[in-house]
Amino acid sequence: MGGLLAVALALPLASYRANRIAPAEPRGLFEALPLSWALAVVGLALAAVAVALAARRPALRLAVSALMLLALLMAIGEAGRTLSAGGAQYARVAPGVGFWLAAFALAILVTDAIVRLRPGPLGRLAALAAALAALGLILVSGQWDGLSVLAEYRGRAAAFWREGGHHLQLAFGSLAVAVAAGVPLGIAIHRARRFKAPVLNGLSLLQTIPSIALFGILIVPLGWVAANVPGAAALGVQGIGMAPAFVALFIYSLLPMVANTAAGLAAVPAGVTEAAAGMGLTRRQQLASVELPLALPVILTGIRIVLVQNIGLATIAALIGGGGFGTFVFQGLGQTATDLILLGALPTVALAFVAAVVLDATVDLLPGARR
C-alpha cells in the first residue's frame, strides 16, 4: 500500500475544466496546490509510506495514516479553491485519479490498523463518530466549496434533501415491512420444518430476478391495482414511482430476514428450550422470553444485510420514477457529468457504510453475541 500511495501522488491530484461541459485538464500535485501545501502533503505521504513499511505498532500506523488521509481531504479542497481562484465563476475542479488512488490506499492502511487493534463495538462506533465529525467540520468550514460536486449540490440543494428523504423512505420503509413479515414467517418455518425448504427455495428464486427486471415486472400489476382498486391511487399505489420500487425492495429483503430468523432460532440450544418447558413456560412464552432473545444477534445480522442491500438497490429506483439519490446518478450519466454522478453516489456509499458499522457494533453489544 505504501508503493500505491507513492504512485498515486505522482498522478494528477485534480482535474480542471473551464466550465461544466469543457474537457477536463489534469493538474498535478504542485500545479493544483500552493507550494507549502504540496510540500506538506509530500512530507506526510513519505511518513505514511515509512510507517506502512517499517512500523509494527498498529496505533502508530493508525495515527499516521488517519492524519495523512485528513491532510489529503483538506488538500483536495485547497486545490479546488486554488484552481478556481481569480474570478473563474464557471470553473469546475474535481478530484483526479491520484486523489482517488491515494484515498483508497490510505483507507486500506487505516482499516488494517483498526483491525490489528481489534477495538470493541464501542471503539468502532467512536471511530465512526470521529470520522463523521471530521467530515462534517470540513464541509461546514467551506474547505470543499471550490469542488465541482459542491457546486452541483448548491444548484440542487432542495432536490438533494428531497431525494435523500425518498431514499431513506425506500430503504428503511421496505426494511420495516420485511421485518414485520419476515420474522413471523421465519418463526413459522422453524416450527413447521416441512415448509422450510419450499419457502426458502421460493424466496431464493425471487432473489435471482435482476432488480431492473423486477421493477419493470411490477409496473403492470401495480398499474392495474391503481386503476381498478378504489382508494389505491390515493394511497400512492401506481405503476411507476415509489410503489413498485418499495415492493421490489421488500421482496429482496424477505430471504435474508426469513433465513436469518430461522437460523437464529435453530441455533438455540435444545437444553435451553427444554429447561424453559420444564419451568412451565408455554410455547409462546418460550419464544418471547428465551428463543427470540437468544436468536436476536443472528436476526440483527439479517437486518444489517437487508439495510445495506436496500440502500444500494434504492439507487436503481430512480429509473422508474421512485426518486432517491439515484436520480442524480442517472441524470449525471445522461449528461456525462461525473460530478453529478458523485452527488448521488457518495451519500449512498456513506449511508451504507454507516449502517453496516452501526448495526455490526449493535450485534456485538448484545449479550451472547460473537466476540
Asked if residue 16 lies in contact with residue 27, where contact means CB atoms within 8 angstroms, the answer is yes
The count of other CB atoms within 10 Å of the CB of residue 86 is: 7
Are 307 and 359 contacting, i.e. CB atoms less than 8 angstroms apart? yes
- pLDDT tens for each residue of the chain, 371 residues long: 556 666 677 889 999 888 777 788 899 989 889 999 889 888 888 887 787 777 778 888 888 889 989 999 999 999 988 888 765 667 788 999 989 988 988 898 888 889 888 889 999 999 999 999 999 999 999 899 889 999 889 889 999 999 999 999 999 999 999 999 999 999 999 988 889 999 999 999 988 888 888 888 888 888 878 777 877 777 777 777 788 888 999 999 999 999 999 999 998 888 888 888 888 788 888 888 888 898 999 999 999 999 999 999 999 888 888 889 999 999 998 887 888 999 999 999 999 999 999 999 998 888 755 54
Determine the length of the chain: 371
Residue 57 in grid coordinates: 505498532
Contacts of 109 by beta carbon, 8 Å cutoff, 6+ apart: 1, 5, 48, 52, 61, 65
Where are the alpha helices (H) located in 142-266, listed in sequence order? 148-155, 157-191, 196-207, 211-228, 242-266
* Cell numbers given for 228: 381498478
Kindly state the cell numbers that stand for 95: 478530484
User: Would you identify the CATH topology of the domain 157-365?
Assistant: MetI-like fold (1.10.3720)
Residue type, 294: L
Rounded CA-CA distance 135/124 in Å is: 17
CA gap 254, 260 in Å, rounded:
10
Provide the grid cell at 188. Answer: 413459522
Domain boundaries, the chain: 2-142, 157-365
Q: Say what the pLDDT of residue 189 is.
A: 93
- Whole-prediction pTM value? 0.87
E-only strand ranges, 22-62: 25-27
Query: Can you spell out the DSSP letters for 94-105?
Result: EE-HHHHHHHHH
Question: Would you call 147 helix, strand, or coil by DSSP?
Answer: strand
